[in-house]
Amino acid sequence: MKFIQYIGGIFTALRSLAGGMIVTWKELLTPKVTMEYPENRKTLVISDRWRSELIMPHDENNEHACTACGICMINCPNGTIQVTSSSIDTEDGKKKKILDKHLWDYGSCTFCNLCVITCPSDAIIFNNDFEGAVFDKSKLLHRLNHEGSKLRDRKKEASTLDTSAKKENKEA
Amino acid sequence: MNNRDAYDTAMNEITQLIQQIAPDAQIEAKQRLTVTVRPDQLHPVIEALYGNETLCFDYLISLVGMDWGDRLGAIYQLSSSVDLTREVIVITATADRDNPLLYSVTDLYGTAHLNEREIYALFGIRFINNPDMRRFLLNDQWKGFPFRKDYVHDPKLNPETVVSSEIIDVAPHIVERDGELIEESVAVFGEEDYIVNIGPQHPSTHGVMHFRTSLDGEIVKKIDVHSGYIHRGIEKLCESMTYPQMLHLTDRLDYLSANINRHALCMCIEKAAEIEVPERAQYIRTIMDELQRISSHLLAWATHCNDLGATTAFIYGMREREHVLDIFDKTCGGRLIINQNVVGGVMFDIYPDFQKDVKAFIPYMRRRLKEYDDFFSHNAIALGRMVHIGLLSREDAISYGVTGPAGRASGWSCDVRRYKPYALYDQVEFKEIVRTEGDSYARYLNRLDEIEESLHIIEQLIDNIPSGEVCAKVKPIIRIPAGQFFQSVETGKGEFGVFIESSGDKNPSRVKFRSPSLSAVSVIPLISQGAFLSDLIGITGSMDFVIPDIDR
Amino acid sequence: MLIYSQPLELTKLLAAIDNFLQGNLTPGWTVLVKGILVGILILAAYTLIALSLIYIERKVAAFFQARLGPNRLGKYGVIQSLADMIKILIKEVIQINKADKLLFYAAPFFVIVASVLAFGALPFGMNLHALDFNIGVFYLLAVSSLGIIGILLAGWSSNNKYSMIGAMRSGAQFISYELSAGFSLMTIVVLSGSMQFSEIIEGQRYCWNLFNGHLPAMIAFLIYLISGHAETNRGPFDLPEAESELTAGYHTEYSGLQFGFFYLSEYLNMFIVAAVAATVFLGGWMPVQIKGWEAFNQVMWYIPSWAWFFGKAGLLMFFSLWVRWSFPRLRIDLLLNLEWKYLLPINLANLLVMVVIVLSGFTLTDLFPALFGK
């Protein structure tokens, strides 16, 4: 009886092992899943919502929507955003805050998206340009507002411009 | 109604029981029965709750160290292995800040051991009768107790160093003999022990875990768990953050169940601030949770197989996980850390093809499960490596608080989704997979079966997602009322809990995460004693823990 | 017996070289130059085969795992292992402070010398045989078991606990499986009545030993594959270097060229096992021939003998890779169980059965001399 078990055990084991080998054999012939980056750059699809780099969309007049309110900075959990502003006197004599620098540190961002969802004027978004590697740590500090840019006049512009600017940026 | 009555009688019973032992204990019936006792009454009270046959509070969900400014203390969240809905909270505190001492409950709950050591490291409270009172998470040279409110955060006190220090193998402890407290120390390992460091850099510890293993030939004699290499003090960080800010840290605990962890914290805040979550958000949350569970189990399966030497299986598991991650990626722009849940709902609505993608994934995954079965589940070598290896009895699983697939493999029905249903789990039909073998193989099979159950849950929900808002209107600054709040969920690893103590401010005053991985690790020295070195690796693989969840 | 036309055979080339040397040098120098030439050729072949095996293994493993494998260097990554070799050659050899220096440096040489010695005695093709001992099988078994000394030394001298455990496992494993490998080869020696490779191959002209000895030969073949696989320390028998348990086992502390030696010899040992199995069971370099089908045989002879040899060995190596990438690793007690409770007793019984079959004339050549006879 024991002898039969012994022989039976051998065959059960061999059958189970053969089962495993059949699976690997089938896999040998299936299409491979490796993506050959960077050769596949042209066909690579990055999802629209992919959060990669924080940007401030500017329109063709080099205008953005940031009012320098600093809510993104307050909401950021780890001090990744620094907004510096200065106040100027407008034509009608009122004080107005304008944006000097909107600094964002790629290196310490956790991509939690809080800044984007809390921004009252939808001035910043994440794009999906994922190739952000640099050779120098200091280059990770991005200035989001362009040189010489200014605040878009809300009354003049409809929100259509805003969306078109966003689209443009995505395509870029 | 019947349930309610039973609940009330049980609570009355508890009250009576406690009043017999500690007449001056304060008993309040908040959301849960909260009992405040003097330190010297703590052990008798908990022992009575533990030993009472009808109540049977034999499961210590979590042990939270507390600093209330004038007093240092601990909160014991007890539950019953028979009925997880039965909960009681025992609070104790001491006013002695220089040499705070509490009584240990390690004799009752195995899981208390590492938790008490953690509290010692973070709050400086020492526990009488805990056999090994070394610091956990922090090294022995650390000055000060970082989680105390008066902790001085000064880099000069604890300078960064690259010089490694010797690990001290002497464990101090305090024992009570004949009413006297005696401080003693014992050696962790014998002089002649052949100690092998499994970790902190080791391919199979799934992170920077350090098992100091004493070997007799190939046989494991004793394991000393040494962790804390990636202790980031997330709980402390949370105290300085607003509630929305805290959310992104939960993803960094058990990163394989990132979404589910975050769900727990969101629910805890929503419960406290009484925010109603829209129906659509609940659907999305539940589906995403189940997808996350699938991905977590797939990775657990893959790494378990890899630990047993089957590299190919590892790649297969990762390949299937990629499909889930792609869905996450398209839904919320993240793969591992997905930032989907926010207080009041979800951050991103599902994308137009979401249902199509998920529906395509379900049959694909089923085919793969079949393949996994053919490939590995019946393999003679794999069976030899898993069957009757790392036996964990039901009693030990409960004592050490091992929940999740591992706890259910030991015959303990402990699915939070079933006992304390949240989101939509009370509306879907699913089986709780329970096996009684308690070995590595049962844990292995449980995970694969749970993937199937998760697919089943998703199938029930995917076509019925109602339209509507995905996030409730929430005030920009969320404040939750003063009090203690707790919410647990079922992650891929087991019961994950969030404890918040709020003083009504916009920051919490204490946050504690109940980590299922910590329980899993705390039981490894027990179940791998006498096993082969190779089996130790197999057992750690089968327990499936994630180090950032342990270290927090 | 007919002489078939063999256009691609290297026999003529070799004869030409031989004539050239003998015509220009004294007999003593001829032997010396020939020895040097053969030595260089063997070492070159050793490196080439090992490098290509490394590439093939990575590629095959990747395909089993639904990946592409090396694909960066050259078309399909073909020069990947060449680049790896260069990298290993220029890497620093790290000195281990508390290691036993002499043994530590000697260990890789033991391993590589053992495998070169075994490699040198393989019959690669018709007349492509450096040494044709009359006890070839015995010699091969003897020198290939030298390698274990190197592994044990490496583990011991590294002064590293992982290495030590790995080496101890290796010792237990190697000694156990050497028994099985030896006995299964003995089974075939009984069948073919010789220990000389050339005679064993000649005896398989019309019928491979695998079929000639039918059931016992097949069992011996299977056991040889299993134990040979185990001797090469490759998965599922890779306990000595079990990377998920012992990081890299006995060669944890080695770097640079020394590590390269272990690495090369591992692959070469795989080749040697496959080559021996091909020679002893599958007719070695002898093309497939059927008695009486002269046209068919001629076609078979157009394929040169060395291609047959590498083809057969390659097939067996592919099988070995297939096994390696399909199974989880055994545990040490399971491993020894397999040997002492299964392989060895079966093997002993098998040897006995083979003796009975040979003596009572139940081999295929004896039963059907018209079809398979010599």
Residue contacts between A and B (CB atoms, under 8 Å) = 75
CA dihedral sign of residues B125, B130, B136, B141: positive
CB B125 within 8 A of CB B119: yes
How confident is the model at residue A158, as a pLDDT?
52
Residue B439 has pLDDT above 80, yes or no: yes
In terms of CA atoms, which chain A residue is nearest residue B320? A33
Interface test with C, best of B374, B383, B534, B536 (most C CBs within 10 A): B534
**Conformation bin of residue C292: beta by default, left when phi > 0, alpha when psi is -120 to 50:** left
pLDDT band with cut points at 50, 70 and 90 for residue A171: very low
Interface contact A70, partner B, CB < 8 A: no
CA atoms within 13 A on the CB side of C248: 11
Enumerate the β-bridge partners of residue A44.
none
- Residues of chain B in contact with residue A118, where contact means CB-CB under 8 angstroms, are 476
**Confidence at C194, pLDDT banded by 50, 70, 90:** confident
**How many other C-beta atoms are found inside a 10 Å radius of the C-beta of residue A92?**
6
Most C CBs within 10 Å, among A22, A32, A33, to test the C interface: A32
Average pLDDT on B34-42 reads: 83
Is-cis flag, bond preceding C123, omega within 30? no
> pLDDT tens across A104-145, in order?
888 888 888 888 888 888 888 888 888 888 898 888 888 888
| C342 shares contact with chain B (CB less than 8 Å) | no
Taking CB atoms and an 8 Å limit, are A111 and B339 in contact across chains? yes
* Contact check, Cβ <8 Å, A20/C326: yes
Other Cβ atoms less than 10 A from the Cβ of B381: the count is 25
Flag if B337 and A110 touch (Cβ within 8 Å).
yes
Helix H or strand E encompassing B126: strand B126-128
pLDDT band (50, 70, 90) for residue B503: confident
The runs of H, that is alpha helices, within B420-513 are 440-462
Q: Are C68 and A36 in contact (CB < 8 Å)?
A: yes
Provide the shortest C-alpha distance from residue C339 to chain A (in Å).
13
CB under 8 Å to B400, separation ≥6 — which residues? B109, B110, B111, B519, B522, B523, B526
**Of the partner residues C64, C68, C342, the one whose CB lies closest to the CB of residue A34:** C68
Cα–Cα dist B530/B524, whole Å: 12
Checking if the pLDDT of A170 tops 70, the result is no
Rounded to an integer, the average pLDDT of C298-319 is: 86
Q: Do the Cβ atoms of C208 and C283 come closer than 8 Å?
A: yes
pLDDT at C300 over 60: yes
| R_g of chain B computed on alpha carbons | 23
Average pLDDT of the residues of chain B:
85
Tell me the mean pLDDT in the region C180-195: 87
Tokens of residue C304, six digits: 């040169």
Cβ(B108)–Cβ(B52) below 8 Å: no
pLDDT of residue B54: 73
Nearest CA in chain A to C323: A21
Task: Read off the pLDDT band of C45 (50, 70, 90).
Answer: confident
3-state secondary structure of C115: helix
Residue C95 touches chain A, beta carbons under 8 Å? no
Q: What is the mean pLDDT of residues B447-469?
A: 89
Assigned token pair, C28: 């003593």
User: What is the C-alpha separation between B210 and B417, in angstroms, rounded?
Assistant: 32
- Taking the whole predicted model, whether its pTM rises above 0.90 is answered as no
State residue C330's pLDDT score: 85
Reading the block at residue C333, the tokens are 């007690």
Displacement of CA B132 from its chain's centroid (Å): 22
pLDDT tens readout for residues B362-407: 999 998 899 888 888 888 888 888 888 888 898 889 889 898 898 8
pLDDT band at B1 (very low <50, low <70, confident <90, very high): very low
Q: Are B296 and B257 in contact (CB under 8 A)?
A: yes
Mean pLDDT across B177-196: 82
Other CB atoms within 10 Å distance of the CB of residue B240 = 11
| d(C-alpha B201, C-alpha A68), whole Å | 46
pLDDT number for residue A163: 52
How far, in Å, CA of B490 to CA of B54, rounded?
Answer: 26
Distances in whole angstroms, Cα of residue B462 to Cα of each of B293, B350, B366, B393, B459: 16, 11, 16, 38, 6
Average pLDDT estimate for C46-61: 88
The tens digit of pLDDT for each residue in C80-99 reads 888 888 888 888 888 888 88
In this complex, do C71 and A36 lie within 8 Å of one another by their Cβ atoms?
yes
Partner A contacted by C90 (CB < 8 A)? no
Mean pLDDT of B66-79: 87
Q: So what's the pLDDT on residue B31?
A: 67
* Position A172 pLDDT exceeds 50: no
Write out the DSSP string of B47-113: HHHHH-TTT---EEEEEEEEE-SS-EEEEEEEE-SS-TT-EEEEEEEES-SSS-EEE--TTT-TTHH
Specify whether the backbone of B494 is left (phi greater than 0), alpha (psi in -120 to 50) or beta.
Answer: left
Nearest to B335 by CA among A49, A77, A76: A49
Q: What is the pLDDT of residue A85?
A: 82
Confidence of residue B294 (pLDDT cuts 50, 70, 90): very high
Three-state DSSP state, B528: coil
SS in 3 state form for C292-345? CCHHHHHHHHHCCHHHHHHHHHHHHHHHHHHHHCCCCCCCHHHHHHHHHHHHHH
Count Cβ atoms below 10 Å from residue A41 Cβ, excluding itself. 9
The pLDDT score that the predictor gives to residue C248 is: 78
User: Which residues on A lie below 8 Å from B476 (Cβ)?
Assistant: 118
Q: Which stretch of DSSP H or E encloses residue B287? A: helix B279-307
Strand ranges inside B362-514, DSSP E: 483-490, 495-502, 508-514
> Chain C within 8 Å of A27 (Cβ-Cβ)?
yes
Is pLDDT at A27 greater than 60 in this prediction? yes
Contact C66 B218 (CB under 8 A): no
User: Locate tokens 């063709």: which residue?
Assistant: A60
Count of beta carbons in the 10 Å neighbourhood of residue B471:
20
Q: Which chain A residues are Cβ-neighbours of C65 within 8 angstroms? A: 27
* Average pLDDT of the residues of chain C: 84
Please tell me if residue A17 touches chain C, with a CB cutoff of 8 Å: yes
The pair of structure tokens assigned to B398 is: 């409960």
Confidence of residue B297 (pLDDT cuts 50, 70, 90): very high
Give the residue from A32, A53, A47, A157 showing the smallest Cα distance to A111.
Answer: A53
Q: Which residues in C lie closer than 8 A to residue A27 (C-beta atoms)?
A: 63-66
Q: What is the mean pLDDT of residues C29-50?
A: 85
Please state, as a whole number, how many other Cβ atoms lie within 10 Å of the Cβ of residue C236: 24
Contacts of A20 in chain C (CB under 8 A): 326-327
ipTM of the complex as predicted:
0.84
Read off the pLDDT of residues C2-13 as tens digits, 9 standing for 90 and up: 577 777 777 777
With CA atoms as reference, report the closest residue to C283 among C308, C318, C301. Answer: C308
CB atoms within 10 A of CB C371: 13
